[in-house]
């Protein structure tokens, strides 16, 4: 059995998605999602019928949006996140999103073919927020090898 890398990240919008202050972010969703879909090592991403995940509700807060995806390796995800046009969104994040008190991201290993659920992603993120990096959930700064 092999493994892929799952990741989740959340952000809290400063305004509703239809607010003009968020328009630039919303305009970039389709191109950035298409870039991910074509990226080397990309396997899967959480999306609704609209083609993105902005209308998938985060249970505790309607202003929180979620991004969850699966990649063939840490390196593939890192290259997409920080070595492609996606990095421009990260640089501009403060224009559209407020600061959150806890970590907003984590990664974990999943068996090849597994598609994580939102509940699974929330669980992994909560674990990371409470315990920091462990083999159960971690981040680029402190990685754990895929299971044997």
Q: Is residue 146 part of a domain?
A: no
Kindly list the distances between the CA atom of residue 58 and the CA atoms of 10, 18, 25, 118, in Å, as whole numbers in the listed order: 9, 17, 19, 9
Q: What is the CATH number of the domain that holds 75?
A: 3.30.70.100
Q: Is residue 97 part of a domain?
A: yes
Q: Is residue 119 part of a domain?
A: yes
Residue 36: φ, ψ to 5°: -60, -45
Q: Is residue 99 part of a domain?
A: yes
Residue 52's domain spans which residues? 3-131
Q: Is residue 30 part of a domain?
A: yes
Please state the domain count of the chain: 1
Nearest to 102 by CA among 69, 143, 131: 131
Q: Is residue 39 part of a domain?
A: yes
Q: Is residue 147 part of a domain?
A: no
Tens-binned pLDDT, residue by residue, of the chain (148 aa): 799 999 999 999 999 999 999 999 999 999 999 999 999 999 999 998 888 888 898 988 999 999 999 999 999 999 999 999 999 989 999 999 999 999 999 999 999 999 999 999 999 999 999 999 999 999 999 999 999 8
Say how far apart CA 60 and CA 74 lie, in whole Å.
Answer: 29
Residues in the chain: 148
Say how far apart CA 90 and CA 26 lie, in whole Å.
Answer: 14
Neighbouring-strand partners of residue 142: 139
Q: Is residue 140 part of a domain?
A: no
């Amino acid at each position: 059995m092999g493994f892929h890398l799952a990741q989740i990240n959340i952000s809290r919008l400063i305004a509703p998605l239809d607010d003009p202050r968020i328009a630039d972010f919303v305009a970039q969703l389709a191109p950035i999602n298409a870039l991910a879909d074509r990226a080397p090592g990309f396997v899967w991403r959480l999306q609704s019928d609209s083609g993105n995940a902005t209308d998938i509700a985060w249970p505790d807060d309607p202003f929180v949006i979620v991004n969850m995806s699966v990649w063939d390796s840490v390196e593939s995800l890192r290259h997409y996140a920080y070595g492609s046009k996606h990095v421009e969104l990260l640089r501009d994040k403060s224009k559209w999103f407020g600061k959150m008190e806890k970590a907003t991201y984590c990664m974990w290993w999943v068996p090849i073919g597994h598609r994580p659920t939102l509940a699974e992603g929330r669980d992994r993120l909560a674990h990371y927020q409470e315990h920091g990096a462990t083999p159960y959930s971690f981040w680029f700064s402190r990685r754990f090898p895929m299971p044997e």
